[in-house]
Amino acid sequence: MRKAINLMVYFGATSVFSSVIFGLLLAENEGTAGSTLDIHKYIGIAAAALSIALIYFVRKAQSHPSAIKIYRSLLVITAVDVGFAGHYGASLTHGESFLTETLPFQTDEEAPESITINLASFQNELSSEQEVQLVTNVRSVFAHNCYKCHSGAKIEGDLRLDEKEFIFAGGESGPIFEAGNPDNSDLIRRISLSKNHKDVMPSKGKLLTKEEIQLLTIWVEKGAPWPEKADNFSVYRVAELAPRKPNLPPVKSGLENPIDRLVNQYFEKNSIEWTELVDDRTFLRRAYLDIVGLIPSPSDLEEFETDPDPNKRSLWVERLLNQTDDYSQHWLTFWNDALRNDYTGTGYITGGRFAITDWIYTSLRYNKPYDLFVKELLSPTDKSKGFIEGIRWRGTVNASQRTEMQAAQNVGQVILGLNLKCASCHDSFISDWKLEESYAFANIFADSTLEISRCEKPTGKMAQTKILWEDLGEIDSLATKAEKLQQLADQLVQPKNGRLSRTIVNRIWKQMMGRGIVEPVDEMDNEPWSQDLLDWLASDFTENGYDIKRLIKQIATSKIYQSQSIPVPSSDFLLAEDYQFEGMVRRRMTAEQFSDAVSLLAAPLFDSIEVKFKPYELIPEATQNREFTRASLVANNEFLKALGRPTREIVSTSRDSQASLLQALELSNGDKLNSALQKGAVTWIETYPDSEKLTRELFAKAVLREPNSKEMELAMKTFGEKPAAPEVQDFLWALFLSPEFQMIY
């Protein structure tokens, strides 16, 4: 049996190693985080390492019998490790209680309460308002417990519970309830069964709570009322479309900025204390990285610290905003991500994709008002058409990825903070948006009328042509594509479209503060931590000419921006439903910020071959006044990908600030950084041959301070009397990987 056993060991080791590789890729692409994933990942990596060792010893055992004991021990350890990896993997996909939830004694487990009404108030005859309230809560129960299997997205047993007509029609076995008679209603019977019963519903996940069961029972008992007014109520939170400008709280000492007055109101309500202001060094570095994407020089810091003007922070923010090309090259990254604009990649070879880099850069450089920016995206010139043209993929693509639907999804996501991806295949089960509404919006971007496809199957029904919110106006379905786009552009940038301003204000706030007022930033119907702050900023932004630079200055000169940063344990913390705002989130440099800092302090990371956009050729006065090329101007590569730059084949409006295994491997073993460090070490030695002077200059330029006594002692021990290139290279590497360098505090 030895050959068969060896074959099984090789096959098993290969499978484990492949699973780890694909698991790491999946975790990166899905943006998943959390302790369970971390445990699963590290145990999986250990299994891969053990598998490699196992192959080595199974081969060695063939010629060295003494290795058999080691091989067998490794086999047992590997098997146990794989078992634990599988357990945590199943916990990720099926929940942490997947091993126990089907046991016989697990019958009456209660889920968190979700009913927000007093059920006792429905015992007597119902008023019309009570009927609406009752049905709204019934729809909420269906939405949160049943839509995954019984909606337009997935229909099991021919039963849909997302619309009135389907609920009353029932499924393959007929009606699911008898109005007025809950005891003879299959719906009530099945949701009341124990967890391990074969007929229980929901069949997967948590059972309905006792309150939810009681709610549905009352509804059936009352004759299953469904007044027409109930259809106008959403089971999901829907943000107001119209703008709103709340009154500002009164001015208090040190809180003159309207942002601080509204934040203080929130702090008082939630018993949160203000933190102290950061020192000049921390503020200057923070402002430089946020506004122009670069680290300040020691001379910048000295000039700033010795500036006697009490308003110097505001003045320096203005000064940074006036560094037109530095500002534009930094914020180009933000808009390239959001508008999925890249220099290479899918579509460019075949002419099925159009770059809009020139247009973005020019818009940033001249601080184009955001309403005009949006209008030129939606009703484009040749320079700006790439966004709504999307990517023309090679070969046949599914209906939800045709270019007209891409435009609808991308405009909805980027400009309106709206997720239409589910509703591009079927009626959404995470919002109220319907398939027909998505197609009606996509029809605006089409040359001819689109046929609606549900889950890739043509329905034979032709789409209408409508904007997503009828309050904003109508689109002429008989107009040409260019005319429809002009109408859309005019209607979306109306001041009465409060969603437009709220969405961009929220994005800029997140870029500056590390976490949006609403999260995720593409889900603007979610609850903001401060509705007043969001609404006031959006209204003020509209009233002041949609000026993005003014908005950035408003945030950067606030007390809350200048206060101590808040460390966070993981990205899950920022997305928690009970999140409380305490201040700016401490975060890691982006791929571009880190690359630019390395290029500045060591040696340029990118050569001329990788440079794909030259603004100084587009705008003569935008001269290249640096000795290195900014990372925002180069084609994507393995180094930037490892540090978090997306491929931009889809819209990317958020980057994870958490360090990753891929990033650690690239920064430890990657050729690009290593080459820059080697060149940089030689330059540093030529400039500062004295070890002490070299150390002081390294710290001054990298972290804007003098080395402390321990750091100086370590440097002297490392460099000796005369520094050598390998030691300086290692020292640069250690500085670049230190949290003090990589983090924006």
Residue 344 burial by Cβ neighbours in a 10 Å radius (0-12, 13-18, 19+): middle
Average confidence (pLDDT) over 626-651: 93
Q: What are the tens digits of pLDDT across the range 22-70?
A: 888 877 664 444 556 778 888 999 998 998 888 888 888 888 888 888 8
Above 90 in pLDDT, residue 89? Answer: no
The more confidently predicted of residues 54 and 603 is 603
Strand-strand pairing, 587-588 and 743-744: antiparallel
CA 277 to CA 505: how far, in whole Å?
Answer: 24
Q: What are phi and psi of 743, to 5 degrees?
A: -95, 150
- Report, as an integer, the average pLDDT of 327-355: 92
CA distance 650 to 644: 14
First and final C-alpha spacing in the chain:
61
536 pLDDT higher than 80: yes
Quote the tokens at residue 536.
Answer: 């006031």
In contact, 20 and 42? CB cutoff 8 Å: no
- Residue 221: closest CA among 119, 123, 114, 117: 123
Vertex 343: Cα angle to 418 and 677 (nearest 5): 110
Res 742: pLDDT: 96
As a whole number of angstroms, the distance between CA 671 and CA 668 comes to 9
Reference 680, options 632, 720, 627, 609; nearest CA is: 627
Structure-block tokens of residue 554: 């408003």
pLDDT score recorded for residue 153? 58
What pLDDT does 403 receive? 92
Average pLDDT over residues 352-368: 96
pLDDT at 113 over 50: no
- Tell whether the model's pLDDT for residue 633 goes beyond 60: yes
Q: Give the range among 336-340, 428-432, 511-515 with minimum mean pLDDT.
A: 428-432
- Give the pLDDT band (50/70/90) at residue 367: very high
- Of 275 and 234, the structure prediction assigns the larger pLDDT to 275
Distance between CA atoms of 591 and 323, rounded to whole angstroms? 21
Q: Where are the domains of the chain?
A: 2-94, 129-232, 396-445+454-463+471-492, 591-744
68 vs 108, more confident: 68
Residue tagged 């030695």 (tokens): 685
Residues 6+ apart with CB under 8 A from 639: 591, 595, 605, 666, 670, 672, 673
H/E stretch holding 220: helix 210-221
Inter-residue contact 646 to 679 (CB < 8 Å):
no
Residue of 360, 356, 359, 334 lying closest to 347 (CA atoms): 356
Q: What is the mean pLDDT of residues 13-26?
A: 87
Residue 411 pLDDT more than 70? Answer: yes
Confidence label for 325 from pLDDT (cuts 50, 70 and 90) = very high
Burial 581-592 (b: 16+ CB within 10 A, else e): bbbbbbbbbbbb
DSSP state of 192: T
What's the confidence (pLDDT) of residue 109?
Answer: 35
Highest average pLDDT, of 123-137, 381-395, 512-526, comes from 512-526
Cα separation of 538 and 522, whole Å? 16
- Look at residue 727 and tell me whether its pLDDT is greater than 60: yes
Cβ-contact 162, 429 below 8 angstroms: yes
Task: Convert 367-410 into a string of H (helix), E (strand) and C (coil).
Answer: CCCHHHHHHHHHCCCCCCCHHHHCCCCCCCCCHHHCHHHHHHHH
- Residue 112: pLDDT above 50? no
Q: Give the pLDDT confidence score for residue 232 in this predicted structure.
A: 65
Lowest mean pLDDT across 24-38, 104-118, 343-357: 104-118
Reported as a single tens digit per residue, the pLDDT across 669-711 is 999 999 999 999 999 999 999 999 999 999 999 999 999 999 9
User: Interior CA angle at 706 toward 701 and 710, to 5°?
Assistant: 120
Lowest-confidence pick of 6-10, 321-325, 633-637: 6-10
Pairwise CA distance, residues 385 & 354, whole Å:
7
Q: What is the tens place of the pLDDT at every residue in 123-152?
A: 888 888 888 888 888 888 888 788 777 876
Mean predicted lDDT score pLDDT of the chain:
90
Mean pLDDT computed over 528-546: 98
- pLDDT band for position 91 (cuts 50, 70, 90): low
Check residue 544 and report its DSSP letter. Answer: T
Q: Is the pLDDT of residue 572 over 60?
A: yes
